[in-house]
Amino acid sequence: MNLYKKQHPHPEGICPPFYSKLFTVRWCEVDFNGHMSNASYLNLATDVRMMFFKEHGFTVNDFKQLRIGPVAVQDEISYYKELRLMDEIEVHLELVGLSRNDVKMQIRNIFYRKDKQKAASILTTGVWFHLDERKAIPAPPKLLTALNQVPRSADFRII
Q: Is 34 exposed, middle or buried (0-12, 13-18, 19+ CB in 10 A)?
A: exposed
Name the residue range of residue 81's domain.
19-59+76-100+109-121+142-158
Mean pLDDT computed over every residue of the chain: 90
C-alpha 159/C-alpha 2 separation (Å) is 34
Q: How confident is the model at residue 13 (pLDDT cuts 50, 70, 90)?
A: very low
* pLDDT tens by residue, 62-101: 999 999 999 999 999 999 999 999 999 999 999 999 999 9
Q: What is the CATH number of the domain that holds 54?
A: 3.10.129.10
Give percent of the chain above pLDDT 70. 89
Q: How confident is the model at residue 15 (pLDDT cuts 50, 70, 90)?
A: very low
C-alpha 48/C-alpha 83 separation (Å) is 18
pLDDT at 7 over 80: no
**Structural domain contains residue 10:** no
Number of domains into which the chain is organized: 1
**Cβ atoms < 10 Å from Cβ of 121:** 19
> Residue 14: what pLDDT?
42
Picking from 141, 125, 124, the residue whose alpha carbon sits closest to that of residue 66 is 141
* pLDDT tens by residue, 93-110: 999 999 999 999 999 999
Provide the 3-class DSSP secondary structure of residue 18: coil
**Structural domain contains residue 136:** no
pLDDT at 41 over 90: yes
**Structural domain contains residue 13:** no
**Structural domain contains residue 135:** no
